Structure 1
Amino acid sequence: MELDEAIMKRTSVRYFLEKPVPEEAIRKLIESAIRAPTASGLENWLFVVFRSEEARKKLYELIAEGMEVYYRAVNLPEEKIEKLRKRMYKEGMFRAPVYIAVFIDRRVRFLPGKEFDEVEFIWSVESASMAIQNLMLKAVELGLGTVYIGVTSFKGIEERVRELAGLDENHYLVGVIPVGYPRSEPKPRKRKKGVDDVTRFI
């Protein structure tokens, strides 16, 4: 598969088959992820793979909780939240055979001094984000679907995901990526803005 094809075919997949993802495929995803650029060559990312039934169930409940917080934050009515619960608990939205949680270790840094805390943190998150994109593109090549979950970063939820991963407060959760075989043929959506809308030449 050409890179351009993988880029154009990548889309957010929210429903997955109950089909195991081979460990070899998971390793290929992470191998692709760690080829991403990494600020100052630190490689201070960590990929925690949730694949046991118990761990996946606990993480899924935290995702569901985060989705509800998200819906309430934008003042959606109760009937919309009830539809969300139906999509998650009855239809299995975001329920996947594998979840990959991507963390950064904030202790691993290049520049000394508190004045660089913020920029070091931003660089680390950017590095992990590029790793996630590599992972998602490799998933397309392997016939797998992925979706980025950011609602696990809400206060009170991020801490519990971290604890579930067996990590301390020095680690920061950048995102959770459900991985699996799509339940139906993925259909990438068109972007609302074209190249000319988002580009400025100076």
Structure 2
Amino acid sequence: MELDEAIAKRTSIRYFSDEPVSDDAIRELVKAAIRAPTASGLENWLFVVFRSEEARKKVFDLIAEGMVEYYKAVNLPEEKIEKLKNRIYEEGMYRAPVYIAVFIDRRVRFLKGREFDEVEFMWSVESAAMAIQNLMLKAVELGLGTVYIGVTNFQAIEEKVRELAGLDDNYYLVGLIPVGYPRGEVKPRKRRKGIEEVLKFL
């Protein structure tokens, strides 16, 4: 598969089949992820794979909790929140055979001194985000679907995901990625903005 094809086919998959994802496929995803650029060459990322039934159930419940919190924060009417819960719990939205949590280790840094705390953190998050994109593009090549989950970054939920991963607060969760074979047809969405709206030459 050419890179252009993988980029064009990548889309957020929210419904997955029960087909398991092999260890080899997971290793291929992470191998692609760690080829991403990494600030100061630190490679201070950690990929935690949740795939036991018990761990996946806990992660799934945390995603659902975060989605409800998100929609309450944007003042979605209660009846729409109930429909969302139905899609999650009854239809299995975001229920996947594998979840990959991508963390950074805040202690691993290049510039010392508190005045560099913010920029070092930003660089680390950017590095992990680029790794996630590599992982997602590799997933397309392997016929897998992924979706970026941001609601697990709500503080209370992020702490619970970290605890599930057996990590202390030196680690920060950049993203949680459900991974699996798509359930149903994959239809990449068009972007609302064209290139001329987001591109500026000087």
TM-score normalised by length of structure 1: 1.00
Structure 2 residue 111 is matched with structure 1 residue 144? no
Partner of 2:88: 88
Partner of 2:79: 79
Q: For each residue in 1:146-170, what CA deviation from the matched residue of structure 2 results, as whole angstroms up to 9, or x when unmatched?
A: 0000000001110000000000000
In structure 2, distance between residues paired with 1:119 and 1:184: 42
Q: For each residue in 1:81-112, what CA deviation from the matched residue of structure 2 results, as whole angstroms up to 9, or x when unmatched?
A: 10011000000000000000000000000000
Secondary structure at the counterpart of residue 183 of structure 2: coil
Secondary structure at the counterpart of residue 66 of structure 2: helix
In structure 1, distance between residues paired with 2:46 and 2:6: 24
Unpaired segments of 5 or more residues in structure 1? none
In structure 2, distance between residues paired with 1:80 and 1:174: 28
Partner of 1:160: 160
Q: For each residue in 1:106-132, what CA deviation from the matched residue of structure 2 results, as whole angstroms up to 9, or x when unmatched?
A: 000000000000000000000000000
Structure 2 residue 187 is matched with structure 1 residue 201? no
Partner of 2:31: 31
Unpaired segments of 5 or more residues in structure 2? none
Partner of 2:44: 44
In structure 2, distance between residues paired with 1:111 and 1:105: 14
Q: CA deviation at 1:140?
A: 0.2
Aligned length: 202
Q: CA deviation at 1:185?
A: 1.6
In structure 2, distance between residues paired with 1:41 and 1:117: 17
Q: CA deviation at 1:21?
A: 0.3
What root-mean-square deviation, in Å, do the aligned CA atoms of Structure 1 and Structure 2 show?
A: 0.4
In structure 1, distance between residues paired with 2:124 and 2:185: 34
In structure 2, distance between residues paired with 1:143 and 1:88: 23
